Structure formats: structure tokens, C-alpha cells
Amino acid sequence: MSDGFIELRNIRKVFAGVVALDAMSLVIKPGEIHCLAGENGSGKSTVIKIMSGVYQPDGGEILIDGKPISAMSPIEAIAHGVQVIYQDFSLFGNLTVAENLAMNVHLGEKRRLMNWRRTRAIAREAVDRLGVELDLDAEVASLPTAGKQLVAIARALMSDARLIIMDEPTTALTRKEVETLFRIVRDIQARGIAILFVSHKMREMLEISERITVIRNGRKVAEGPTGDFDEALITRHMTGGDILNEPYAWIPPPGPPPVPRLEIRGLTVPGKCEDLSLAIRPGEIVGLSGLLGSGRTDLALALFGMVPRYEGEILIDGAPVRLRTTQEAIDAGIAYVPEDRLTEGLFLPQSIKRNMLATSYERLARRLVIDRSQAEEMTQGMVRAMQIATPTAEKPVMQLSGGNQQRVVLARWLLTDARVLILNGPTVGVDVGSKAEIHAKIRELAQHHGLAVLMISDDVLELVQNCNRLVLMHRGRFIEDLPAAAVTEETVSDRLKTFT
Amino acid sequence: MALLRRSETVIAGILLLAMVLIGTINPAFWQLDNLFSLMRSNVIIGIMAMGVLLVLISGGIDVSFPAFAVAAMYLTIKGMLALGYNGVVLPLLAATLMGLAFGAVNGFFVYKFRMIPLIVTLGTSAMVRGFLLGVVGTSMININKMPTALIDFGRTDVVSVTKADGTTYGLTAMVLIYLGLALAMHLVLRYTMIGRSAYALGGDPEAARRAGFDLRKTIFFIYCVAGALAGFAGLLHSGMIWLANPRDFVGLELDVIAAVVLGGASIFGGRGSVLGTMLGVFMLVMVKNSLIIMRVDTTWQLVVVGLIVIAATALSAWRDRRRAA
Ligand SMILES: Nc1ncnc2c1ncn2[C@@H]1O[C@H](COP(=O)(O)OP(=O)(O)OP(=O)(O)O)[C@@H](O)[C@H]1O
Ligand SMILES: [Mg+2]
């Protein structure tokens, strides 16, 4: 009855007591572009690993061309034409593009000797087949992310692939690169190869896919042609409810205006930003947007003590502070959640607890020894407050899904008793449901705990919905400071487009 | 243009500059007998460096090879004396195999228990040295007891020159062995899959596993070859200096690793070449040799070698970061 190339039936997968997949079903038809949508931790990556033979299911069936496969190993998956493009691409940065492309062919033929001329020929063919420009002699480490991705795709196409799986392929790409990628994806499809796509970006899903499967808590909850879905519907299936999007309103307290939590006067970082002045009062959430290189990250870094040679004044609660090191910034009550949580924020192999307490140890160890019970209490509280899906705080952060990892970073900074919270891309790689929860948490912190929040984001909608004020930055200067109530996503996006 | 970007070209340039500099301070540097003696000093460090290069490329490190070298050398010569055997080929083979066996132990622990290579090789190094001195013996075997065949082999020259005052000097034929082994290593690294697998392992172990490399084979190969080269070099060394000292080669690991890193190999794995390593070895030997000629104290020589390791590693780390950016 199945007309699918590959089909999962009632797949179950349990990790040490955590049910990652429970009666999960999925059908991929030959030559279709299929999107898998689901919240963080819903089991998307696990589905992919089952299909590629990395994990063995604890129950259920895998069918290829309608025939059941008893136990699928990675090699068998490849033999059946299933190719995965990993988020880290699984390339050798120290080797050339040509060698990376030809490696699997050599290994498949069990060769003992390396024939460089043949390596180039194989690579040439692979690149030509993809129809892109790639310098075969370039070292892969020297390529930009989009280039690495092309190498990975070219490699996947070499073995007679029938299905190419991409796990969040667009997170690290610019809009233009995404367009190129989509063109290539459609090209691949035209050759009869199916594509399974995982993304958190609704618009991209709706734009590229033909069919969508939505998964929640390890189960399929909806499936159908893309035309039957819209953003709201996907969201409802993913979260099991609607997400309310009320704009954030900040009402100044009666009486004289309160002293700003954070005030900067004439802040200048030579060559990066110039003469910036801004005041954020307790409870305010100020959004900051601008193109890449507008100086917005430099401002954040200066506020976090990472640019010791800034000029101008920074005041916290009216008192001038001088921020030359991150420790001074933390002591002044500033918390910074960086853009790239993986390289700047988290220690992946370490436990959730350790990651959460990373900046609090000094405070916990006032009396030379660490107060263990207090540490335990703090982490437990945070795991609950941030709704991190884990049975224990001892679990390595590596084993959490992307969205839960982001919550760990946030939790760490909330534990420092910060008064000023600077968020750089707070919800990159986070699904809609968790996004809403993280936003709610940020609002609560501002509203009930009087934090001043500076939220930097590329996602204009995120800013418009969660900030009471919006500041636009261009070439190191503040161009506009608008009340959020006066703008819409469109007007801000249009304004940003005029910055070139 | 591509030539300019290669690290080998840069190293060769620095080497040339250093040679000119040293030659200006001390004109005797350019005399043929000095150059011959320099090349002679390259042989043992160079052969060992080939093994260390392989290990570094794979992302590991080896500090046990001096211990393996001295153990293979001393055991072989003790054995020759006990058996009354006087030859060259078989003993060299025996020393090589002994080194290989020691190396296999490193490989076993690194692969099987996924232990950090530094800890494994520190451990095997201490064990082998301790065993040698504690069980086999502590006494030196000097020229009057050394097997004559080894000594004769070690003093073979390719060319010899007679000076005006009647004394002769020559270029040792051991240089040819070094060059031969270096060429072999170059061919292995560049033109065999096992060589490429060392680069792949050093570049990204997880990706190498996913690609389907047999990492057990690769790791054993790497540590066995490093051990074998050390064993071979150990015995060759005793033939060249006519002495078998069970306390030899102490601290040599630093010199060799310094030379390899100086030659452009990355301490983080994945990068390095035979040509670069040969240049690095030459540079290190030359610098040490000049320090000796300038009568710099051995303790200060140590400081210089330490500085070289740190400077070369810092440079290569900076280079790798820039490439990744
Ligand atoms: N190796 C593992 N060991 C233990 N638990 C795991 C492991 N891998 C995944 N899990 C758990 O299984 C669940 C599903 O995780 P999965 O990575 O598939 O989610 P995801 O849908 O890809 O999420 P995200 O969008 O955040 O990437 C999560 O609760 C996760 O913590
Ligand atoms: Mg995932």
C-alpha cells in the first residue's frame, strides 16, 4: 500500500529512560522535498539518525521500497541511497576540497594507494554535477560555511543517492546563500532525488517543501501537502496550542522618571561605533537591530567588558562604572548571552549543572568551599523555571536538543543576579514553542524583577513583539529610536533595507 | 604564488636567513667539514622526527621514542655480545622490531582505552627506561667491547676529503639512510591511503570514523612506525658514536618535537610534511651546533630549545586559527 521510498512505522527509541521517539511514522516519497517540523527536543534529529542507521530503533519497522529492513547500519543506509548532511558537515578541514570529495570513493573501493590525478577527476565530476564553482585545491577550512555545505552536498550526490537529509541546513547561512541552497535543492530534486529538510524557520519550510510532517513529543501529529499548512497551523500542531503574541508594553511608574538601570553616554569604540547614547530604565526591553557589521555586537562586547579601550561613560543605576574585564561587567550586574552559544557559551561535554553554575562559582564559594546544597537548589530551581526537558541536571549539555541548550545559557546568566541583560540573537535555532517560552521568561524578568534588557536580533518580528522600544543602528551609529507600538515588522524591515 | 603560501617555502627562507646570519658571525660555519658534521648530526634526530611527524599529523603526540630507542639499542647490543654475533643487518632488524613492539603497546592503549597519547607515552617511556636500567643493566658498553661490524658500518663515508695538514674528514653514509627513510615516509604520507588516513584522523576523528576509515589500523600503524623508526635510529646511533649508553637520549623528545613543529607540523594534528620536517630538523641542529661553537652553556641551550618549541607552536596555532577564520 505504501508508495514511499523510505517509510518509518511506529518507530520507538528510548535513551536511558527518556522516550525520544514513540510510535513515530514518516513516509518519504521518491523525489519529493519533505520538511520535518517539531519543537526542540521533539525528536527530529533522532528520526534522522534512525533513517541513516546511526541509531537502532527499540521498536517499529523501517521499510525501503516497501520491503522491511531488519537492522540498518550506516553502511547499509548509504548502500540504499540515504545520505545525511550533518550539521557539522563531517568534512576534513585540513584537506583539500578534491580530497574530501574523493575520499569516500577511494574508501569504498578499498584502495591502498592514493591516486591524485584520479582524485581530482572524481572531484571535478562531483562539482560539475552539482553545477557550482568550487576551487578544488582550496583547503576546506578556508571556505565559508556555505562553501563547506556545497562540498558536503556534492559529496552526498556522488554515491547514487536517492534521499538527501539535511538537518537545519540554513541556520548559519545568509539570506542570499539560502537562496542558492534552495536552487540547488530544486536541481537535485529534478533528478529524482528526495530531500528531507529540518528547519525551525517556518517561512523557509513553506517556501521549499512539497510535504510537511509535524512531530510532537516523538510522535507524528500532522502530515500533508504544504499547501494545507500555514505558519499558525504548523505552530498549533507543534505546540499543541496557539501562541499568544501580545506586544510588550512598558508603563513608566508614576512620579518622576526612574533612574536608568543602564545608561551610556557618548560611547565610542574606535573604528566600530561612535558616540552612542542610550538609557534603559528598569523593566524596559530595548531591541537593537542593524545589518551585520553595523557595530551592534561591538556595543554589546563593550558593555560586557570585552573592549577595554572604549571611550565615553557607562552608568549602572546612576553610578558610573568602568568595564575593562568581563569580571568587572559581571560584578556591575551585567549579563551577556552571546550570539554563538556553542563556541562562546557552553561546555558541551559538561553537565547542565556545571554549565549553569559556570559564572556563579565565585559567589557560591564565599567561604572557600562550594556550598553544595545551595548549588543543587539553584540548579534545580532553574531547570524547573526554564522548563528544560531533562530528568536530571547531571546530564551533559551535549545530549540536550538545541533549544534546551539555549535555555541553559540563559539560566546561567539569570543565576548571577544580573540587573542588565544583554541578549545577542536569543532564539537562533530555537523552535517557535520554546521561543515563546524564552520570550515570556525575558518579559517576566523585565516586568517583575526590574531588569533592563537589551535584545539584539536579526529577527525583526521578535524585536517588534517583545520590545517596548527599538533602536536601529547603522555604520556604528544609532539612526533611530522608536517606540515599538509605532512600528510593524514591515516598516522596520523596509527601513533596514535602506541601510547599505 | 602558491609556492609562497606553502609553509615549506617560508621555513626554507627562514633557514637560509639563519644560515647567512650564523655565517656572518662565524665564517667557519661555511667550511665543508662543519657542513658535513652538521649533516651527520641530522641523521638520528631526522629519522626519529619522521616518526614523530606521523604521530603529530594524526593528532597524537609521542614522548616515548627516546626510551624505545635506547632500549632497542642496548638490548640488541647486549644480545649481540652474549651471542658473539657480529653483523649489521640482522641487529638493525632486531632493534627495529623491538621498537615496533614497544610502539604497538602505545597503539593498544591509545586505541583500546582512548587514552590521551601524552599520558600513554609518558607511562610507557618511564616503564621501558626503568626496566632497562633496573633489569638489563646500567653500565656503558664502549668502543673496546662494541661489535666491530656496527662500528665499521657507522664510520662509512660517502665522500672523504683530505685536508692540507693530512687529516681527513668525510660525509657519513648514514645520511643516505636518513634520506631514504624520509623519501619512504613522504611516499607513504602522500600516496597511500594509510598515510591519508593519518591526516584524516588528525583533521577530524569523528568525521574519519563516519567516512569509514579503519582507525584501529591507522592508530596501530602510526605508533608502530614511530616505535620502529626509534628502535632503528637507536642502534644506528650507537654505531655512529661507538658507544652504547643505557642512559642515552634523555631529553631528546623535546629536541625532536621542536624540530617537527619548527618544520610546520601542527601540534593539533592534521598538518605537516616530510620536507618541512627535514628543514625543521636542519634548523634545530644548526642552532644547537652554533650555540656549542659559541660556547654557550648546555643549560642555556635547553632554554633556547624550549623557546623554539613555544615560539614555533604559537606560530602554528596562530596560522591554523587564521586558516579557520
Ligand atoms: N544520545 C542521547 N542520549 C540521551 N538522550 C538523547 C540523546 N539524543 C537525544 N536525546 C533526547 O531525545 C530527545 C529528542 O532529541 P532530538 O535531538 O532528536 O531533538 P530535535 O527535535 O532534533 O531538537 P532540536 O530542534 O533542538 O535540534 C531529547 O529529549 C533529547 O534530550
Ligand atoms: Mg536537532
Contacts of A99 in chain B (CB under 8 A): 196
Between the CA of A37 and the centroid of ligand 2 the distance, in Å, is 11
- Express each pLDDT in B184-233 by its tens digit: 999 999 999 999 999 999 999 988 988 889 999 999 999 999 999 999 99
Mean pLDDT for chain A overall? 86
Q: Taking 80 as the threshold, does the pLDDT of residue A97 lie above it?
A: yes
Its sign, for the CA torsion A51, A54, A55, A61, is: positive
- Express each pLDDT in A361-410 by its tens digit: 767 766 666 777 888 888 888 888 777 878 888 888 888 876 778 788 88
Between the CA of B201 and the centroid of ligand 1 the distance, in Å, is 27
Helix axes B274-293, B174-191, angle to 10 degrees: 150
Q: What is the pLDDT of residue A444?
A: 83
Q: Taking 90 as the threshold, does the pLDDT of residue B308 lie above it?
A: no
C-alpha cell of residue A38: 517539531
Going by alpha carbons, the residue nearest to atom 19 of ligand 1 is A41
Mean pLDDT, to the nearest integer, of A409-418?
81
Inter-chain residue contact A75 with B324, CB threshold 8 Å? no
Its sign, for the CA torsion A121, A125, A128, A133, is: negative
Mean pLDDT, to the nearest integer, of A58-64?
92
Which DSSP state fits A62?
E
Mean pLDDT, to the nearest integer, of A185-197?
92
Q: What is the pLDDT of residue A1?
A: 44
Inter-chain residue contact B270 with A94, CB threshold 8 Å? yes
Between the CA of A180 and the centroid of ligand 2 the distance, in Å, is 23
**Distances A64 to B21, B105, B287 between C-alpha atoms, Å:** 70, 45, 65
Model pTM score: 0.72
Amino acid sitting at position A427: T
Q: How far is B315 from chain A (nearest CA, A)?
A: 17
Pick from B192, B203, B323: CB nearest A95: B203
Inter-chain residue contact A114 with B207, CB threshold 8 Å? no
The answer to whether residues B87 and B149 touch, using CB atoms and an 8 Å cutoff, is yes
Query: How far does CA A89 lie from the centroid of its chain?
Result: 16
pLDDT band, very low/low/confident/very high, at A307 (cuts 50, 70, 90): confident
Which DSSP state fits A166?
E
| Residues flanking ligand 1, CB < 6 Å | A 15-16, 18, 20, 38, 40-46, 389, 399-403, 431
Domains of chain B by residue range: 31-248
Q: What is the pLDDT of residue A244?
A: 60
Give the least confident one: A49-53, A65-69, A243-247, B170-174: A243-247
Q: Taking 80 as the threshold, does the pLDDT of residue A150 lie above it?
A: yes
Q: Taking 60 as the threshold, does the pLDDT of residue B100 lie above it?
A: yes
Query: Could you tell me which chain B residue has the CA closest to the CA of A88?
Result: B207
Between the CA of A44 and the centroid of ligand 1 the distance, in Å, is 8
Mean pLDDT, to the nearest integer, of A273-301?
88
Tell which atom from ligand 1 comes closest to the C-alpha of A16: 4
Inter-chain residue contact A112 with B194, CB threshold 8 Å? yes
Does the interface ipTM go beyond 0.95? no
Between the CA of A51 and the centroid of ligand 1 the distance, in Å, is 15
For chain B, what percent of residues have pLDDT higher than 70? Answer: 97
Q: How far is B314 from chain A (nearest CA, A)?
A: 18
- Express each pLDDT in A30-48 by its tens digit: 999 999 998 888 899 899 9
> What domains sit in chain A, N to C, each tagged with a CATH number?
6-239 (3.40.50.300), 262-497 (3.40.50.300)
The answer to whether residues B59 and B111 touch, using CB atoms and an 8 Å cutoff, is no
Q: What is the pLDDT of residue A87?
A: 76
Contacts of B112 (CB under 8 A, 6+ apart): none
Inter-chain residue contact A93 with B192, CB threshold 8 Å? no
Contacts of B208 in chain A (CB under 8 A): 92
Pick from B192, B211, B324: CB nearest A112: B192
Between the CA of A220 and the centroid of ligand 2 the distance, in Å, is 16
Q: What is the per-residue burial (b if ≥16 Cβ within 10 Å, else e) of A215-246?
A: bbbbbbbbbeebeebeeeebbbbbbeeebeee
C-alpha span between A154 and A102 (Å, rounded):
10
Query: Could you tell me which chain B residue has the CA closest to the CA of A116?
Result: B191
Q: What is the pLDDT of residue B1?
A: 39
Contacts of A141 in chain B (CB under 8 A): 323-324
Query: A117 at the B interface (CB within 8 A)?
Result: no
pLDDT band, very low/low/confident/very high, at B167 (cuts 50, 70, 90): confident
Mean pLDDT, to the nearest integer, of A249-275?
87
Query: Could you tell me which chain B residue has the CA closest to the CA of A144?
Result: B325
Contacts of B207 in chain A (CB under 8 A): 90-92
Mean pLDDT, to the nearest integer, of A149-156?
91
Q: What is the pLDDT of residue B323?
A: 61
Q: How far is B214 from chain A (nearest CA, A)?
A: 10
For chain A, what percent of residues have pLDDT higher than 90? Answer: 35
Q: How far is B157 from chain A (nearest CA, A)?
A: 35
- Express each pLDDT in B259-306 by its tens digit: 999 999 988 899 999 999 999 999 999 988 888 888 888 888 888 888
Tell which atom from ligand 1 comes closest to the C-alpha of A400: 31
Tell which atom from ligand 1 comes closest to the C-alpha of A48: 18
Q: Taking 80 as the threshold, does the pLDDT of residue B82 lie above it?
A: yes
Contacts of B213 in chain A (CB under 8 A): 107
Three-state SS at A91: coil
Query: A105 at the B interface (CB within 8 A)?
Result: no
Pick from B190, B195, B202: CB nearest A94: B202
Contacts of B1 in chain A (CB under 8 A): none
C-alpha span between A167 and A178 (Å, rounded):
14
Pick from A146, A153, A136: which is nearest to A95 by CA? A136
C-alpha span between A302 and A293 (Å, rounded):
15
